Structure 1
Amino acid sequence: MSDQPQPIAELSFEAALKRLEEIVRRLESGEATLDEAIDLYSEGDRLKQQCEARLQAAQARIEKIQLGRGGEPTGTTPFDPS
């Protein structure tokens, strides 16, 4: 098995959030050197952006659910990010 971390764009939302939580704990502990802290902060920022993008996409899909007259879901329309 490779020791290389999985690219952020390929992480599931849950995996990205878990890694972000690990980074926050490491930074809050004060154990990281300055260079490590800078690298961790940078990775954390990229993870945060990835999580936000996935949440926005999920919200857009939810908003596309069509409701009938009684308020019950009747179907969906395809998600169009533009």
Structure 2
Amino acid sequence: MYRQPRKGARAALKGTFTLLGMTPVEYLAYGETAGRGNIYTESEIVAVNMHRFGALRSFALDPDESAQMIRSLAEKEPS
């Protein structure tokens, strides 16, 4: 059974990626897997990565939520 991850618990599951804004309307994607990096210029691949980035942002904690999470984890850590 698939369960939607809670906020702050999601990662880029297919490896790291970076979107590079070359101009206001032109983007490139840089993806990295197991010791290899690639630059993608194909609009379909760039669009998929832009969509992934948007999805990741929707799960990200806001700054206050992040600070609260860090505080709660620090309180649980044994001295």
TM over 0.5: no
TM-score (norm 2): 0.40
Higher Cα Rg, which structure: 1
- Larger % of helix: which? 1
